[in-house]
Structure 1
Amino acid sequence: MRIAVVGGGSTYTPELIDGFARLRDTLPVSELVLIDPAAERLEPVAGLARRILAKQGHGATVTATQDLDAGVAGADAVLLQLRVGGQAARQQDETWPLECGCVGQETTGAGGLAKALRTVPVVLGIADRVRRTNPDAWIIDFTNPVGIVTRALLQAGHKAVGLCNMAVNLQRKFAKLLDVAPGEIHLDHYGLNHLTWELGVRLGGPGGADVLPRLLDEHADGFALELRMPRRVLEALGVFPSYYLRYYYAHDEAVQELRTKPSRAEEVAAMERELLRMYRDPALAEKPALLGSRGGAFYSEAAVALAASLLGTASLPGTASLPGTAGEDGGGRPSVQVVNVRNDGTLPFLPDDAVVEVPAEIGRDGAVPLPAPAVGPVQAGLITHVTAYEELALDAALNGGRDRVFKALLAHPLIGQYDRAEALTDRLLAHNREHLAWA
């Protein structure tokens, strides 16, 4: 089995390689192809990848290439984890919105729109080349903003599923609190990428007992501290919100905090420099502990589980214990995982072609969302609002134009005022002209 990773020079990649090595019985990879235009990053990452596999006795070969077409040729699955503009662009996304009194963040708000505008055309170009070279390959998108990027891929007719590591992280968190294996936890995880709520936490599978009320009762103070929200808010909601919801529920407070501390982009850039230095050490043969602070924890488990189900290897020994999936039972039942997938009536208040982040049955034919529980008006209202923004954001990314950018910003619930939308539009275009062919 041949797996290609576009953006293979990312400092995330050793996390992915470690997962492939540990979970070899679930996903029998024979060749990993790391594709990246930045040779100065690609070579040290590829070298560490080879040493990780060798140390764990994995026989897969690692190929490093800057040639996209050669890299994806013959691949069974193509993972996308690229960042157009690198950390320098992220630094801009996290700073200029603050000048207008808005959250500076790389996946939501004005910074998230800038990232979408840079990313969608590039990803679609890559996907077109994958389809020409190997039309049967599955595309697994880990590139943010995952919801908008996945919607673009599906709208263009590609075999694609979006993936985020947030659900698998929460699954492990709740499993630890309950002292059970992660595979025993099923999340009623509903919403959009980076805009989700756990409506239930079930023991044993989708039909299991909901223990979320117990968790909220026993751990409310800890959850409130972690999410940086008052306990009374969690008690009023009665569900577990994503930490990204703080940008919506405490916007002005978040803006003030972001203005008074170094950006996450600065922290990550420094971390990446140190990680790449470590990766060049020929004695290093495992992912370093520092990588755990980089973000993307347990991405490898989620990616292996998803690829194994899409490629039909999920019934192999060991799959049943994977986080995020109950595996296949030998009778061909698809595994259940949280992914970004076309809505198709799952959330009835959204259009069918919206992309939602929900539990879905995953098999060779793709992802089919499970029936959703009732979604309350607090959640449904915000989901609907952000979905409208995402539709406008995708239109701007595909067709360009200042007016489309302005409308997307005006529609975003973190902005919503025409004077701010005008000022943000000017700044977005000024900082991203080199990445926008139409600007």
Structure 2
Amino acid sequence: MIGATCTAFIFILGLFPVLQQAFTKALEKAVQQRLAADASTLISVARIEEGRLSMPEKLPDEEFDILPARQLGFIFDSQGKLVWHSRSAKQYEINYQPRYDGRGHEFAKIRDSQEQEFFVYDIEIDLLRGQSAAYSIVTMQPVSDYKPMYKSLRRQLNIWLAAALICLLSILWLGLNWGTRSLLRLRAELDEVEAGQRKLLSDEHPRELLRLTGSLNRLLENERQQRLRYVHSLDDLAHSLKTPLAVLQGVAEVLATQPENKEQARTLHNQVSRMSQQVSYQLQRASLRRSGLIRHSVKLAPLLEPLIEALNKVYLDKQVDVQMRFSREQRVPVEHGALLEVFGNLLENSYRLCLRQICICVQTYEQYCEIVVEDDGPGVPASQRERILRRGERLDTQYPGQGIGTAVVKDIIDSYQGLLFIEDSELGGAKFRIIFPLH
């Protein structure tokens, strides 16, 4: 639309000098015809008496006789000598020399001694009422007589071209709006697909867009089917591994009852636990991937409340005070399962390491959503912050675990093109600051 507006504006600007030039030529042609008619009037009243030019006292066209008139008439002989002029030409000193060279007639512009410009029509005659004659009949009119008309027409031309530009732009905008309605409707449907309010695009689009919408629908359906296959495959894998791991766990417990096998039982138990956590980690990495077309938006408060309630029961002796600094309508642009995994790992670490206080703050800006989880625990030394994000690395060795919680959090954040920062909290402990882009 901006391009069409600029094109129309440039077209009107280019049209203005063309129309102005056309008017100037039309005006000059009208002046030439007027002066030619005046010259014909002079020729019609001229006489040749005894070889000399004779003009009447009063001309048929009174403009030549009235002194204030602006119409000027001159007659020159073949040597360029002035032999007659109208009374209206007495006040002008015009140095004009006609060219009696057989060209017939000529229309031009000249300037007098005072730099005043005149239109000039010069016609040569050889016969006058059947008698031989050699004269140049010249009629003139000041260009300034037409300047008010020229200025008025220029002003009118500006007004009409401005009105034409407004009309043209209105028609262009209406036409482009009508032509792009289908694209706007398609964009609205894509927004609904991204928001999870629609599964497929409709077929209520112009024929030119049906191939595009069909391809997008096939892409959406293929993605949905692929996600279902992932879910089913992961469910099957989890189910198939659950029983062997449970059997191995039972074997470890049986071996632990025998004193001579206690060390082997402990080793088997640790390895089975590690295998279980590694399987869980790989399953989470495979399942919690962001969709390429679906844009998620999850209310945070309903997700956190049951999670905090469960952790309060686990760490009942600490009486942890959790402050949630966001509204109940606050949304986060992350899939529900992925968001639950992020907060589950971060809050579990915070509950385990804090003294009494945890703070969760969420703010939404124009381009991104910022999440902050901080506590009053021992914090994370600056030299160890990169280390704890690597799989299998742990700072706290007092509690069992494999050190994959923060690695899962980092993988999920990366899959949403987000950023994770570990900083010092004002509460005295660690601050995990997460940024998720909104688009």
TM-score normalised to the size of structure 2? Answer: 0.23
**Greater strand share, structure number:** 2
Q: Which has the greater radius of gyration?
A: 2
Higher RCO (C-alpha under 8 Å, 6+ residues apart): 1
